[in-house]
């Protein structure tokens, strides 16, 4: 691919943007799973943020004992 037919796009959001808030919440959930069981944890986490509402959804597991 040459530069003449290459299109580059990007998005940047500032602090306080809902995407940043959602990322921090999802990261905190993941950090807790890793803290509890760093070798066996599994997590799929999505955080949805809108006006006056935050919804965290997904699935995860830690350890073989169902913790």
pLDDT tens sequence across 53-65 = 999 999 999 886 6
Q: Given this model, what pLDDT does residue 64 score? A: 65
Residues of the domain holding 53: 15-61
Q: How far apart are CA 23 and CA 16, in angstroms?
A: 11
pTM above 0.75, yes or no: no
Would 24 be classed as within a structural domain?
yes
Tell which residue, 32, 61, 28, 31, has the closest CA to residue 44.
61
Would 48 be classed as within a structural domain?
yes
Residues sharing a CB contact under 8 Å with residue 24, sequence separation 6 or more, in sequence order: none
pLDDT tens per residue, range 29-56: 999 999 999 999 999 999 999 889 999 9
Would 31 be classed as within a structural domain?
yes
Q: Is the pLDDT of residue 25 over 90?
A: yes
Burial 53-62 (b: 16+ CB within 10 A, else e): eeeeeeeeeb
């Amino acid at each position: 691919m040459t530069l003449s037919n290459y299109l580059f796009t990007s998005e940047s959001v500032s602090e306080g943007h809902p995407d940043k808030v959602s990322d921090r919440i999802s990261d905190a959930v993941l950090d807790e799973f890793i803290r509890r069981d760093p070798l066996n944890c599994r997590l799929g986490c999505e955080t949805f943020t809108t006006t006056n509402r935050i919804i965290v959804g997904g699935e995860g597991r830690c350890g073989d004992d169902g913790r």
